[in-house]
Structure 1
Amino acid sequence: MNRTLSAITLALASTLAISSFHAHADDDGIERIEIHAERMPSELNAIARNVTVIDEDTLRQQFATAANLAEVLAKVVPGMAPPTPALTNFGTTLRGRNALVLIDGVPMNTNRNISRDLHNLHPSQVDRVEIFRGGNALFGSGATGGVIYIHTKTGQPQTAQQTTVGLKSSLTEIDGDGLSYLAGHTASGQVQGWLYRAAGSIEQTNGFYDADGDRLAPEPSQGDNYDSTIYSFDGKLSKEWDNQSLTLSMLWYALDQDSDYASDPSAAKDPYITKARAIKGLSLDKQNEINNLVLNAQYHRNLTADHSVNTQLYYRDYDARFAPFDGRKFATWNHLAQTYLESSNLGLRVTFNSKLNDKIELDWGIDASDERSEMPVTTFDSDIYNASQGLVFKSLGDKAFVPEISHKSLAAFVQSRAKISDAVALEAGVRYERIDASFKPFTTLGSQTAVTGSAYDYSSFVYNLGATYNLNDDHTFYIAANEGYELPDIGLQIRYANSQFDLSQSNLEPVETTDYELGWRGVIGPVSANLAYFTSSSDLGGVKSENMGLSLTRNKVRIDGFEASAKYLVHAAWALELNYSQVDGEEKAQGKTAYTVMNGFSIPPSKLSAVVNYDAGNGWTSQLTWLNVAGDDYRIDGKNAFARRDTQSYNVVDWQNSFELGQGTLTVGIENLLNKQYFSLYSQLQRNGNNTSSIPGRGRTLAVQYQFNW
């Protein structure tokens, strides 16, 4: 292995494959791999934090045994909580905290946090993903755990068309009810200097079955994508001319569920842990939905040889609907109701890059956004619901749950990079942000309390510092201190407000985190490796809702952990990759003196994944992926509570294969190859507190997909 190149690629040991990532060659002929999860492109091996980059080829292999991007990342990214069976990234934390999800720089997070940030695009739209860990001052609110930067696919110079067809079926119960299919088409090329891409797909997902051959019950808390039609479309135009470039893009993703199945409520009475049961006969007009439209314009111009500007203007229109919830026994709900979110966001980013000399470079600029969101509920007839034993939902109309919230932000930032010597590099940055929040008058759903509107503004000042030291071509050490912040979910408090509620008097101080990270990247013979130790603390954690909002608390939080990745090149055809992470967290309640362990939805148990890669050299590549999630006891004094159970370990083995066949590529995957019956961490913790959320993992499932190149 070329030693100079290995020093660059070793930082990618936490990925499943080291491949091409928009690389370029300098005058010295050395390939420089750049990532964009900072503000401007930066060499990967010069970053003072742990970064994972997953390329398109690896994603295509992993998608053969995963339903969405959230599952892929949760399986293979160290520090990220294990996958869930639901249509949510609730509990899928990164280093025990929330991550900011960006699609081509556009934030998917909303202040009314509904935890679907990783479920807003189709796998066919993803080019590569960069996971940038730790508190982040570069992108603003929401990045206390890190940044997940998703790049979508772009046009290619050569005219090409590609048709994709796919089938997926359970192998434990083979019938039409368990068969899903996919069809898509892509056109790409160049016209008068403009690169273009236009792609669309339709996917019909039906039922899934566990290892015993039983149909998986619907997830009644956060929802799922069973019996859904999924549509996607993306288009992109880009052109470079006279030291400038322009990219215009549109991305649309829609999921519409239409199922005849509900979760049998009688399972709630069974002893822990009994798997949820699916029952037929559901009558519900509108079920789980996602509609995500993103319009994006990016303009880059080289002002001089040493100065450039990058401008991004984006608009996002988003709505999502959840499964109904029986909140009649809770005073804060007092209804049988179904929530949905309607949100829009208009944003602007302007970033200047200035090279002051051969050693110092600055990124500086402004971010601005205007987000509007509201969360009504559809209410249902209780008598009809009771008579049907939880199967028939007759709408009584909509009511307000969370009123329209305006969330405006304006920020200025400066990020510097300095090359002190051939061995030492420093980075430092600051960000100042002001956020104005307000809501209109409304009446609460449960207590029917009239709440007057109010407004509140706050500001946050955060920094980041880092240093890298290249001992030689094979070993790099780094150390970093970073701050991050996020505004707590305003809607979580407003929906349970009393008549005296006022934003300026509520418990809405931002979560401000301080992170420290120490890491090493190195190559030792045929092994490239990556080690990182991190700590994170905050005087105030996120708002915790207990007893359906009757108690809202903010706890002091401290987290630490360890991540390790290694890739062993056995020989030209075989490679072994290992990824391990362990996260520990404690919290101290307000007015208390002792710390207690954080719950399982915040701090996952240790996770180990191993991937055996085989490249036959004749167009066949194969991966065998093993995921081990350890057990952990999250109870306090041995008592069960929300997200506090004594969880058991489990193992899942997947097999992915790719074949160059004719004018295309055939991908074949078998999920849960050994057909083990298991309950994910999410299901063991029971999101809704009873067995109707205890959804087993999918049993042995076959997925076949063929991409034909015209």
Structure 2
Amino acid sequence: MHTFNKRLFLLLFSGCSITAPLMAQRKASSDNKKDTIPTKATDQKVLGEIVVSASRKPVTLDNVPSSVTVITRKTLENDLRVTTDITDILGREVPGLAPGTQTNSNVGQSLRGRPALIMIDGIPQSTPLRNGEVDMRSIDPGVLERVDVLKGATAIYGNGATGGLINYITATPQEDKVLSGRTMINTTGSLTSLKNSVGGRVSQMLQGKYKKFDYIVSGVAEETGEYKDAKGKLVGPNYSLGETDSYNAFAKVGYQVTTRQRLQLMYNYYRSQQNSNYNVVNGDILNGIPSSGVLGKPAGVSTGSRGNHNLHLVYQADSLIGGTSLNADAYYESRDDIFYVSFGRFAGSDGQSHTLDKKKGLRLMLNSPLSNNYNFNGTLSYGADLLNDVTSQPLVDGRVWVPEMNMLNYAPFAETQWYLWQNLILKAGVRVEKVNVSVDDYNTLPLSTSTPSIPVKGGELNYTATLFNAGIRYNRLPAFMPYFSFSQGFSVSDVGLALRDAKVNDLKKINTEAVLVNNYELGFVSEHKKFRFELSGFISTSKLGADMIFDPNTGLFNVSRTPERIYGFEAALTYQVLRNLDISASYSYVEGKSDTAKTGGSYNVYLNGRRIAPPKVTGSINYRPLKELELRLQYMGVNGRNRFEKNTTTGLYNGNEGRVKAYNLVNFNANYKVTPRTMLTLGIENLFNEDYFPARAQWFMIPNQYAKGRGAAFNIGVVVSY
């Protein structure tokens, strides 16, 4: 294995989000300890050979032939001093990911132009059968150890990851004491208009180790006040994160059966719902007037996550016969996400829908050494995944909009990785997806603009896909470590959307064909002492797409199943200028077109804003003027994008095709250690009070969601450790 001093590099940049795999910690050497200013007990350890979700077995920094971004615990803590919105945190920290929406929905927050599979410790949160695009807000970021983001199509964890995967890794005990903990209390509010904007957050965490047991438990409760824009006016309340109550309960217990065997059980509950005192007032897009609100009880029930449960049992065994290791786990996930009331959408009455999803899964993976030769070292990972996913989208009043879809997904896989002469890494794998989706007979809900309900004969949908991945990386020269990868991704697409919009009377006549994506990536990493730079370019193609196209004749969105090609590049750097001064920056660009004529090569129509985000620039400066004081400035610039013509009848852009005007946002956060166990924190969101519309509000072209971005806001907190 290449012996470049990666551990020193990771120590120097442990306060930054870097596009590389990071995880396990080791005690620092005395030399490394001299070069850091510890902010907590665990900071006295060195981030070493860190494992990410880039493979089904442990993979370290040198061994990943593709682009991976990891948001470390230190970065999460910095971001949480400003905002607890995980979609905003990810949008700022991950190159290639669209900026956050500032709502409880992540509609349009694509990863390299395609949907990402959201996971918690490998448990899928996304519902590709009926993608409500609310899966990013699945857990409170305060209980996360880090976030792994693997970019580009992948079949590593199953269907739905055509754009990559985002894996939330939950916290593990960091102290050897029987009992230790941390209490955090925060107050938040608007700096442009304090009235009714004040909110609060309380977080309590306990952890410990006793003999063969270890545990960590956490509880979080948060209430936000009204969100105000740069002029002190109410941000349009439809899907806003203002006036939102959130709760998170987390527990993880581990038992070391022997030195080579471990059992672990994790449970997490998350609930986040808006309880607004306002009815939305539609914005006037033509005249640039944002949506707002008037006092009154909104129709329907509270929107957001009514409850997301995750239960996960893991068994690990090392050094079995022939040095084989075993990882087996079982999981259960259940969620209920509620959307806003659709006025006038259904014939005869309004309607409010929610997606119900239950997943049960088993996974088995073995990893066996193939050769332990110093210059010719190889391993083989193999196993199978079994998933049962039951998803539906009824209306709150009991009417069935999308019938229950019962999916059984079985997928055997194998992957081999070789290390040749310590510098050349080769990886190749195969996965076979076998999917069966059963649907009972159902009747479509009549829309106000369509014919009466259509009875649809149910049945079964069967999919089989063989997916391949391969990658190569060469680490001989730290100044230039190139890599290339090819990977395929598979998704059953949004079957539920096709079912609810059916115009035929038989399931077999509906276009529910799955999406198969080919992803090619070429890049390199350059490292020299305290400097790191990564550049990667990618192309993603699929013979079938799943683009949401607006139909101006009906005012509805339809799914376009045309060939697609998406391409772009990303650049990211980190540099320790001084012992107490770090900087980082990134740039990401993505573009995509579809072949509407299906000619096989003429990609003639741009993909809309729901799929393709405008170019994004980010940067940060971390400065530690004193041992007890740390300061951070974070910048995000969203560039403009204008690809479509206005509708000649309305004078407006069609839905999802709106022009995005550029905007620039700066956040500031600071923390000061009053005592070794007490820290004061301060965060300022939108430091310079930029008056703007978030990108989604601009391209979405939906009057009730044409809302301004949040103006300058504060977050003041105290952290007590014991």
Flag whether TM exceeds 0.5 (same fold): yes
Matched residues in 2 for 1:257 and 1:230: separation?
9
**Conserved? CA contact 1:14–1:566, under 8 Å:** no
Q: How far does residue 499 in structure 1 lie from its aligned partner after superposition?
A: 5.0
Matched residues in 2 for 1:456 and 1:52: separation?
35
SS of 2:321's equivalent in the other structure is coil
Matched residues in 2 for 1:30 and 1:173: separation?
42
Question: C-alpha offsets along residues 633-652 of structure 1, whole Å, 9 cap, x if unaligned?
Answer: 02147862111122210000
What residue number does 1:708 align with? 720
Letter aligned with residue 372 of structure 1: V
Q: CA RMSD, aligned part only? A: 2.4
Matches within 5 A, 1:482-497: 482-497=487-502
Question: C-alpha offsets along residues 277-329 of structure 1, whole Å, 9 cap, x if unaligned?
Answer: 1111124351113110000000001223620110010001110111111144x
Question: C-alpha offsets along residues 393-429 of structure 1, whole Å, 9 cap, x if unaligned?
Answer: xxxx431111111011000000110112222110000
Query: In 2 relative to 1, CA 14–224 (structure 1 residues): closer, same or farther, beyond 3 Å?
Result: farther
Matches within 5 A, 1:129-278: 129-156=147-174, 157-158=176-177, 159-175=179-195, 177-219=196-238, 223-242=239-258, 243-265=260-282, 267-268=283-284, 271-278=286-293
In the alignment, structure 2 segments of 5+ residues that lack a partner are: 29-45, 447-451
Letter aligned with residue 180 of structure 1: G
Query: In 2 relative to 1, CA 30–150 (structure 1 residues): closer, same or farther, beyond 3 Å?
Result: closer
1:88 maps to which of 91, 105, 108:
105
Question: C-alpha offsets along residues 446-479 of structure 1, whole Å, 9 cap, x if unaligned?
Answer: 1322222221111111110100011324431101
1:676 maps to which of 674, 677, 690:
690
Matched residues in 2 for 1:629 and 1:475: separation?
30
In the alignment, structure 1 segments of 5+ residues that lack a partner are: 379-396
Q: How far does residue 558 in structure 1 lie from its aligned partner after superposition?
A: 0.5
Q: How far does residue 568 in structure 1 lie from its aligned partner after superposition?
A: 2.1
SS of 1:58's equivalent in the other structure is helix
Question: C-alpha offsets along residues 615-649 of structure 1, whole Å, 9 cap, x if unaligned?
Answer: 22412111101111100102147862111122210
2:354 maps to which of 320, 324, 340:
340
Q: How far does residue 549 in structure 1 lie from its aligned partner after superposition?
A: 5.4
Matched residues in 2 for 1:679 and 1:498: separation?
37
What residue number does 1:386 align with? none
**Conserved? CA contact 1:452–1:499, under 8 Å:** no
Letter aligned with residue 389 of structure 2: E
Query: In 2 relative to 1, CA 20–607 (structure 1 residues): closer, same or farther, beyond 3 Å?
Result: closer
1:602 aligns with 2:611: yes
Letter aligned with residue 413 of structure 2: F
Letter aligned with residue 21 of structure 1: M
**Conserved? CA contact 1:474–1:523, under 8 Å:** yes
Matched residues in 2 for 1:642 and 1:699: separation?
26
Q: How far does residue 546 in structure 1 lie from its aligned partner after superposition?
A: 3.6
Matched residues in 2 for 1:160 and 1:134: separation?
40
Q: How far does residue 138 in structure 1 lie from its aligned partner after superposition?
A: 1.2
1:122 aligns with 2:160: no
Letter aligned with residue 509 of structure 1: E
Letter aligned with residue 640 of structure 2: G
Query: In 2 relative to 1, CA 550–641 (structure 1 residues): closer, same or farther, beyond 3 Å?
Result: closer
Letter aligned with residue 583 of structure 2: L
1:644 aligns with 2:657: yes
Higher mean alpha-carbon deviation, 467-476 vs 508-517, is at 467-476
What residue number does 1:297 align with? 313
Matched residues in 1 for 2:119 and 2:567: separation?
25
**Conserved? CA contact 1:8–1:44, under 8 Å:** no
Letter aligned with residue 164 of structure 1: M
Matched residues in 1 for 2:478 and 2:47: separation?
13
What residue number does 2:390 align with? 372
Matched residues in 2 for 1:668 and 1:623: separation?
10
Q: How far does residue 367 in structure 1 lie from its aligned partner after superposition?
A: 0.4
SS of 2:268's equivalent in the other structure is strand
Query: What is the TM-score when the length of structure 2 is the normalising length?
Result: 0.90
Identity, % of aligned pairs? 27
Higher mean alpha-carbon deviation, 404-413 vs 80-89, is at 80-89
**Conserved? CA contact 1:496–1:549, under 8 Å:** no
SS of 2:97's equivalent in the other structure is coil
Q: How far does residue 430 in structure 1 lie from its aligned partner after superposition?
A: 0.4
Query: What is the TM-score when the length of structure 1 is the normalising length?
Result: 0.91
1:282 maps to which of 274, 277, 297:
297
Higher mean alpha-carbon deviation, 470-479 vs 145-154, is at 470-479
Query: In 2 relative to 1, CA 570–8 (structure 1 residues): closer, same or farther, beyond 3 Å?
Result: closer
Letter aligned with residue 441 of structure 1: D
**Conserved? CA contact 1:229–1:257, under 8 Å:** yes
Query: In 2 relative to 1, CA 571–543 (structure 1 residues): closer, same or farther, beyond 3 Å?
Result: closer
Query: In 2 relative to 1, CA 541–497 (structure 1 residues): closer, same or farther, beyond 3 Å?
Result: same
Query: In 2 relative to 1, CA 600–551 (structure 1 residues): closer, same or farther, beyond 3 Å?
Result: closer
What residue number does 1:382 align with? none
Matched residues in 2 for 1:558 and 1:636: separation?
21
Matches within 5 A, 1:44-83: 44-83=61-100
What residue number does 1:510 align with? 514
Higher mean alpha-carbon deviation, 437-446 vs 311-320, is at 437-446
Letter aligned with residue 154 of structure 1: T
SS of 1:363's equivalent in the other structure is strand
What residue number does 1:393 align with? none
**Conserved? CA contact 1:181–1:203, under 8 Å:** yes
Query: In 2 relative to 1, CA 8–81 (structure 1 residues): closer, same or farther, beyond 3 Å?
Result: farther
1:627 maps to which of 620, 636, 646:
636
Matched residues in 2 for 1:137 and 1:11: separation?
32
Q: How far does residue 100 in structure 1 lie from its aligned partner after superposition?
A: 0.9
SS of 1:616's equivalent in the other structure is strand
Query: In 2 relative to 1, CA 12–453 (structure 1 residues): closer, same or farther, beyond 3 Å?
Result: farther
Q: How far does residue 30 in structure 1 lie from its aligned partner after superposition?
A: 11
Letter aligned with residue 465 of structure 1: A
Aligned residue pair count: 677
1:21 aligns with 2:23: yes
1:501 maps to which of 499, 506, 511:
506
Query: In 2 relative to 1, CA 434–72 (structure 1 residues): closer, same or farther, beyond 3 Å?
Result: same
**Conserved? CA contact 2:229–2:709, under 8 Å:** yes
**Conserved? CA contact 1:275–1:696, under 8 Å:** yes
1:659 maps to which of 669, 672, 676:
672
Question: C-alpha offsets along residues 132-184 of structure 1, whole Å, 9 cap, x if unaligned?
Answer: 11111211211111111111112343220222111001010012x10110112
What residue number does 1:456 align with? 461
Question: C-alpha offsets along residues 53-91 of structure 1, whole Å, 9 cap, x if unaligned?
Answer: 111111011122234211111112111111112211211
Letter aligned with residue 671 of structure 2: S
**Conserved? CA contact 1:13–1:530, under 8 Å:** no
Matched residues in 2 for 1:333 and 1:489: separation?
24
What residue number does 1:394 align with? none
Higher mean alpha-carbon deviation, 132-141 vs 309-318, is at 132-141
1:697 aligns with 2:709: yes
Letter aligned with residue 273 of structure 1: G
Query: In 2 relative to 1, CA 30–341 (structure 1 residues): closer, same or farther, beyond 3 Å?
Result: closer
1:519 aligns with 2:535: no
Letter aligned with residue 643 of structure 1: N
**Conserved? CA contact 1:488–1:543, under 8 Å:** no
Matched residues in 2 for 1:154 and 1:281: separation?
44
